[in-house]
Structure 1
Amino acid sequence: MRINVLQHTPNEGPGMIQDWSQAHGHEMYIYHPYQFGYLPTADETDMLVILGGPMSPNDDLPWIKQERELIAKMIEQDKPIFGACFGAQQIAKQLGYNITKAPAKEVGWAPVYLQSQVIPDLPEQMNVLHWHEEMFEIPDEAELLFSSDKVKNQGFVMNHRIIGLQFHFEPKADNVREMVVNDFLYIEGSVLNQTADDILQMTVPVENPEILFNLLDYISKK
């Protein structure tokens, strides 16, 4: 399977998604449309991964709109899509739903709570990395999957083929360090009241890779 990844900033890469791809013997191609302007076609994509970034789906940039055109074609072809943060917002935006300021800016580690049993073997509570201040509306076609204490719309699942998460399951320890040392100014104003050191000292939960792999398995298998 060819997994095409859309990466939107140097410090938010695929992380454990790449581990999952390698474990299954898939081929991963990483695109940087914000820098180079190139995107894959739906026909050459077996699975699409859309990562986070500092931009908003509401920004008037050609490549952001082109990404949503690709999402639309992937949905038409019933191919799996996984979106993290900005990526999840792009999916919701393409489906006609609003991207707005969240009730609270969340940056740091905090729990999310399972809201649906549609995907088997997920725990009721997970500790995850948040790095956002906007949120998506849950598409009518989708089911609410996760919520946090501060922001209800933290994740959705749709048609057994699409998962969008407002938070980040994918970063490994090195990836978290990369995010913090490059984007530490963004931490200011977060309701989680964590410093850069607080975030760095938190160990990535050992169960998070298994949970992420479960989510990716769910949308990639019919």
Structure 2
Amino acid sequence: MRINVLQHTPNEGPGSIQDWAHAHGYQLYIYHPYQFGFLPTADETDMLVILGGPMSPNDDLAWIKQERALIQELLANETPIFGACFGAQQITKTLGYPVTKGPAKEVGWAPVYRKSDVIPGLPEKLTALHWHEDMFQIPEGAQLLFSSDNLVNQGFVLNHHVVGLQFHFEPKEDNVREMVINDHPYIKGSVLNQSAEEILARQVPDENKNVMFQILNYITEN
């Protein structure tokens, strides 16, 4: 399987998604469209991962629109797609739903609650890393997968092969450090009221990697 990853900022990489790909012997190709302008084609994509970033799907940038054209093709082909944060918003925007400011800016560690049993074995409550202030709408036909105390629309699953999460399960310890040291000014104004030091001091829960694996296994099942 060829997994094409769209990375949108240097400090938000695939993290444990890369571990999952390696564990299965899959090939991982990482694209940086915001910098180089290149995207894979639908024909060479067996699975698409769309990561987070500081931009918005509402930005008038050619590569953002080109990403959505690719997503549209892959949705039509029923190709597995996973989107995190900006990536999840890109999926819903492709489906015709608006991306808007959420009720509160969430940056830091906070619980999310499972709202559907469609993916077997997910815990009822998990602690996730949040790094966002925009939100998506749940597409018609999709199931609400996660909510938080501050935002209902935290995750969705669509047609068995598409999952979008507003938060992050994929970062490992080094990834969290990279996000915080490079983007710590963004923490200001978060409803979670956590400092950079407090975010760094929190250990990444071991179960987050396990859940990331469960989600990826689910969307790639035949």
TM-score, length of structure 2 as denominator length: 1.00
Q: Which residue of 2 aligns with 1:147?
A: 147
Q: Which residue of 1 aligns with 2:27?
A: 27
2: CA distance between counterparts of 1:207 and 1:32?
29
1:40 aligns with 2:5: no
Shift of 1:141: 1.9
Please report the RMSD computed on the Cα atoms of aligned residues, expressed in angstroms: 0.4
| Cα distance per residue 1:136-165 (max 9 Å; x no partner) | 000012110000000000000000000000
Shift of 1:116: 0.4
User: 1:59-74 alignment to 2 at 5 Å?
Assistant: 59-74=59-74
Q: Which residue of 2 aligns with 1:83?
A: 83
Structure 1 gap ranges (5+): none
Q: Which residue of 2 aligns with 1:131?
A: 131
Shift of 1:4: 0.1
1: CA distance between counterparts of 2:91 and 2:141?
12
Q: Which residue type is aligned with residue 72 of structure 1?
A: Q
Shift of 1:47: 0.1
Q: How many residues align?
A: 222
2: CA distance between counterparts of 1:98 and 1:151?
16
Shift of 1:168: 0.3
Q: Which residue type is aligned with residue 203 of structure 2?
A: T
2: CA distance between counterparts of 1:9 and 1:119?
29
User: 1:96-175 alignment to 2 at 5 Å?
Assistant: 96-175=96-175
1: CA distance between counterparts of 2:90 and 2:175?
22
2: CA distance between counterparts of 1:102 and 1:36?
30
Q: Which residue of 2 aligns with 1:192?
A: 192
Any idea what SS the aligned residue of 2:57 has?
coil
Any idea what SS the aligned residue of 1:207 has?
helix
Structure 2 gap ranges (5+): none
Q: Which residue type is aligned with residue 29 of structure 2?
A: Y
TM-score, length of structure 1 as denominator length: 1.00
Q: Which residue of 2 aligns with 1:221?
A: 221
2: CA distance between counterparts of 1:36 and 1:13?
16
Shift of 1:26: 0.1
Any idea what SS the aligned residue of 2:120 has?
coil
1: CA distance between counterparts of 2:104 and 2:94?
24
Runs of 4+ residues over 3 Å off in structure 1: none
1: CA distance between counterparts of 2:206 and 2:96?
36
Q: Which residue type is aligned with residue 174 of structure 1?
A: D
2: CA distance between counterparts of 1:209 and 1:170?
7
Q: Which residue of 2 aligns with 1:55?
A: 55
1: CA distance between counterparts of 2:141 and 2:198?
38
Q: Which residue type is aligned with residue 126 of structure 2?
A: M
